Amino acid sequence: MAVAAPKTRRGETSRAAILEAALDLFQERGYDATTMRAIAERAGASLGSSYHYFPSKEHLVLEFYRHTHVLHAAAIAPLLAREKDLATRLRGTIRAVVVTCEPFHAVAGSIFSTVANPASPLNPFGAAARPLRDEVIQLYAEVVSKSDARIPSDIMEMLPLTLWLYQMGILYFWIFDRSPGRLRTLEVIDETTDLIVRLIGLANLPVLRGSRKRVLSLMNAIAST
């Protein structure tokens, strides 16, 4: 599902205006009730121009995914450049996800109600989202591989995918979090990232080798479905 790339600054401005209008309308009316015509009118663009940049509403949501990922990657770059401690890297990376997405909290529920359907082309686990999903998984590969943690090779192979799944779970919790400043989500992140790092450390113990193999086998089965 390729999206037309703007060739001029004016094109970039038009494309950004269309995306902003779509997010506003998704929040006001919900994803299903929002039409491309309404988006074009809100953005002050022609319908043909809107379809040029985004051939469907699905393309707009995929662009929303990418937009937040770009913001997230930029936000954590300084942290990953200076920190080697895995717990610090992981906690900072996951915290930055929800901080980056916070301006879109009101619209996230509307989008999620659609993408949660396994048959939806917008499903994060689907083929259309795979290029971006692979980028996020690669980001987590960097989080763990460039830390100073000693991680067994078999765990290292599955850990980036596992951390992406963990991120999806955190975002699901965040969508329904109504606490001030989403403090409950941040508390959950702090507790669970610490637990994950502790479990990774324990995985090096010989006594847990058998259990480790069973867990990794289960993760492989989940990943291949």
Residue-level pLDDT, tens digit, the chain, 225 residues:
455 555 567 778 899 999 999 999 988 888 888 999 999 999 999 999 999 999 988 899 889 999 999 999 999 999 999 999 999 999 999 999 999 999 889 888 888 877 777 777 778 888 888 999 999 999 999 999 999 998 888 888 889 999 999 999 999 999 999 999 899 999 999 999 999 998 888 766 665 666 666 776 776 666 665
Q: Going by C-beta distance under 8 Å and a sequence separation of 6 or more, which residues neighbour residue 217?
A: none
d(CA 99, CA 78): 15
Structure tokens, 95: 């915290």
What whole-number distance in Å separates Cα of residue 57 and Cα of residue 54?
7
Domains of the chain: 1-55 (1.10.10.60), 75-223 (1.10.357.10)
